[in-house]
Structure 1
């Protein structure tokens, strides 16, 4: 015997709670249920600050029960299979639920197994990640006594594309305060050819890199982590037929490929065939990430494994009564809470219009997202942009007291927004279904 709801929501993360709250706020008689097994809901954007010892980890979590909106049923189970032809979802326990409308927002899965050796290395010794255990990140930074501090990220999409470099800027400042900076090389190895996808922001970040004397290595695809020997192995994702040495100067820095090396530091690198192994004394990384298995193996997924939706309406490309957004969707924008903040009102408007008149609303999502790029203790840049990678400051954020006109430059007021303003906005507005 299956239970029926008008709207069934998969996932109790940022997207799931916000969409349920907003739907309930706008149409109080809707029968809504959230399928979510977790007991605790985390405000993950603060984990960068936890990793740098400037935010209390305990304050980032709240009981899931305190966030489920009044009148919304909480099904404490794992969703497992989708039967969209029959408007049905089955949980791991075998419970069946049917729906008029389905909102699939389960977030994503951390997938260290996609890089050889990473599963065994994660969150142990000198390998740390704010994505999984920010408290261990702080222990690692605190215990670091100098050498090569390597910061890196994978080729997969990740939650908040800027997060792998935020902790690097904070760590560099901590090393200075701790008196170990002068015997430290800070290296940032990343798979793309630019430090950030929006030029005005990339220019600001390269100034930060210059100021902090950081070696950036572009086109570096992480393929293996050897935790025992403390080596991160990379393949270079760039056409190297032009000759010239790639990542090792071998005594002649003039031979380096400048597109790959910026502000070269002579850290120890071992070469084996086409692989380059950067030796590290500590490493922080964003692990590879992908859609959860039950999504990738479902009829809702695109070839990439992410849920296939229309980029403007959030409606599924095949099933008109299914919506998805946030981290699990294939929306071509950054996977951030700021994106969800703008996606939810569009999805809600469309679902309510469909219930009301079997048509979509005129509201469309333009790809807006933002990445609060912390560049030091008390400093931040706010990267806000749309699908076209245009820099696009949100006028609503300007309503915060003291906010400034140019968020593309470092400023202490933006740090205050990150540390105090955004968590307040999250818990008191977004989680309550208030459009912000």
Structure 2
């Protein structure tokens, strides 16, 4: 039960790390006051990536990272964990092992940001002042906004690929499926990796076919969105898959309640306020409502929606010129993915390096993001696009087609690139390769 209470706080749990790893960096628990030239808030993909880049730019002694979690997770692989294609253990490593050596690790949670005084206060009482600030606090999962959750995860037949505590429950529910409705949801909020809620549907369909249970299954995707996918080129291909595999897609349906004791899910019709529908399930995959970091939302750094208010070209804050941001916590009008973080990191590195020399930023983020849409245990549609929702594809082929090669890239190449490239500040997205593959035309 304790693990589900932790979901309310959206914190990752961890394990103790070995002494020889922790010696690679300095750490702090509760010093009264600290000052750092570059302070990075958050030790997720954006925070670790930028701390590695800032270490090279400024020197390790000038960089500090505030992050409470002892474990760091490669979350994109949870799609495959939920379908039994990867093990949950493969997704996590001790934070100490990915923290750049020599940087100052403040093992506490950010409680307050005051950009007017260049001050951050942590949960353990530490007060930190900074010259420059990078905010990489991610977003907040809100399982509790669905009535009956997160306590509903105590029951079988329900899981979510969006949390390390619940991803293996998805796989258990899929394995235990006998007959009836397999229901997959997409909430009425911004989400990270907008393709993930339907990826598990395609994988579940493939698993049920492989195990001879598909004829007894009614597979249902209830999404709050008015479309299957936001980019038409890829949406057209996905609709073809949906029709070919006899998958039921219900648009503008938002999950508001789970009754796990009855195996019922309640959906509201967003086009007809007040109208609800009760659906019985044999398996339920929940994509939780999500929202901005509560720390960012409660600070002067937020826009009206609570997201970090950035210049979408340079990733510099609109009001505070010594504040920058990256990743899911920002209001950048593009999909929230790890691929977006990679592309943003290269731009942000360039922006900061220019400003340190009193020069104007000269590199613009075009909104590049990517979503490898897993459609089976050996095929992927690789969606890549920009701020304008236009395909921005790396390879000189039609990426809207299901391809085995793209699956291997998702399952095998990208995790390696993440751990050994992105987190070390050595991978800034596929932009240079795109130019090469397209002979400089893109």
Give TM-score, length-normalised by structure 1. 0.88
- The worse-fitting range, judged by mean Cα deviation, of 146-155 and 229-238 is 229-238
CA deviation after TM superposition for structure 1 residue 126, in Å = 1.3
- Name the residue aligned to 1:424: 416
- Name the residue aligned to 2:230: 197
- Give 1:347-386 correspondences, 5 Å limit: 347-357=348-358, 359-386=359-386
- Name the residue aligned to 1:171: 204
- Name the residue aligned to 2:35: 4
What is the rounded CA distance, in whole Å, between the counterparts of 1:118 and 1:66 in structure 2? 33
- Name the residue aligned to 2:53: 22
The higher-RCO structure (CA 8 Å, 6+ apart) is 1
What is the rounded CA distance, in whole Å, between the counterparts of 2:35 and 2:292 in structure 1? 26
Q: Call closer, same or farther: CA 1:72–1:215 in 2, change over 3 Å.
A: same
CA deviation after TM superposition for structure 1 residue 123, in Å = 5.8
Q: Call closer, same or farther: CA 1:30–1:93 in 2, change over 3 Å.
A: closer
CA deviation after TM superposition for structure 1 residue 61, in Å = 0.7
Q: Call closer, same or farther: CA 1:123–1:325 in 2, change over 3 Å.
A: farther
SS of 1:346's partner is helix
What is the rounded CA distance, in whole Å, between the counterparts of 1:192 and 1:87 in structure 2? 39
Among 402, 406, 415, the residue aligned to 1:410: 402
- Name the residue aligned to 1:435: 427
What is the rounded CA distance, in whole Å, between the counterparts of 1:119 and 1:285 in structure 2? 10
Among 129, 144, 153, the residue aligned to 2:160: 129
Q: Does 1:66 align with 2:97?
A: yes
- The worse-fitting range, judged by mean Cα deviation, of 278-287 and 8-17 is 278-287
What is the rounded CA distance, in whole Å, between the counterparts of 1:360 and 1:419 in structure 2? 39
- Name the residue aligned to 2:122: 91
Residues 251-296 of structure 1 deviation map (CA, whole Å, 9 limit, x = unaligned): xxxxxxxxxxxxxxxxxxxxxx621112211110211111222222
CA deviation after TM superposition for structure 1 residue 435, in Å = 3.1
SS of 1:306's partner is coil
SS of 2:426's partner is coil
Q: Call closer, same or farther: CA 1:157–1:184 in 2, change over 3 Å.
A: same
CA deviation after TM superposition for structure 1 residue 30, in Å = 6.2
Pairwise CA RMSD: 1.5
- The worse-fitting range, judged by mean Cα deviation, of 231-240 and 129-138 is 231-240
SS of 1:159's partner is coil
- The worse-fitting range, judged by mean Cα deviation, of 10-19 and 323-332 is 323-332
- The worse-fitting range, judged by mean Cα deviation, of 26-35 and 383-392 is 26-35
- Give 1:51-62 correspondences, 5 Å limit: 51-62=82-93
Q: Call closer, same or farther: CA 1:53–1:284 in 2, change over 3 Å.
A: same
Q: Contact 1:123/1:129 (CA < 8 Å) preserved in 2?
A: no
CA deviation after TM superposition for structure 1 residue 143, in Å = 0.5
- Name the residue aligned to 1:327: 328
Q: Does 1:36 align with 2:67?
A: yes
What is the rounded CA distance, in whole Å, between the counterparts of 2:84 and 2:72 in structure 1? 21
SS of 2:238's partner is helix
What is the rounded CA distance, in whole Å, between the counterparts of 2:332 and 2:152 in structure 1? 31
Q: Does 1:156 align with 2:189?
A: yes
Find runs of 4+ consecutive structure 1 residues off by over 6 angstroms. Answer: none
Q: Does 1:301 align with 2:334?
A: no
Q: Contact 2:326/2:344 (CA < 8 Å) preserved in 1?
A: yes
What is the rounded CA distance, in whole Å, between the counterparts of 1:30 and 1:75 in structure 2? 13
- Name the residue aligned to 1:341: 342
Q: Which runs of 5+ in 2 are unaligned?
A: 1-31, 429-442
CA deviation after TM superposition for structure 1 residue 406, in Å = 2.0
Q: Contact 1:5/1:31 (CA < 8 Å) preserved in 2?
A: yes
Give TM-score, length-normalised by structure 2. 0.86
What is the rounded CA distance, in whole Å, between the counterparts of 2:154 and 2:208 in structure 1? 20
Q: Contact 2:155/2:261 (CA < 8 Å) preserved in 1?
A: no
What is the rounded CA distance, in whole Å, between the counterparts of 1:202 and 1:123 in structure 2? 35
SS of 2:69's partner is coil
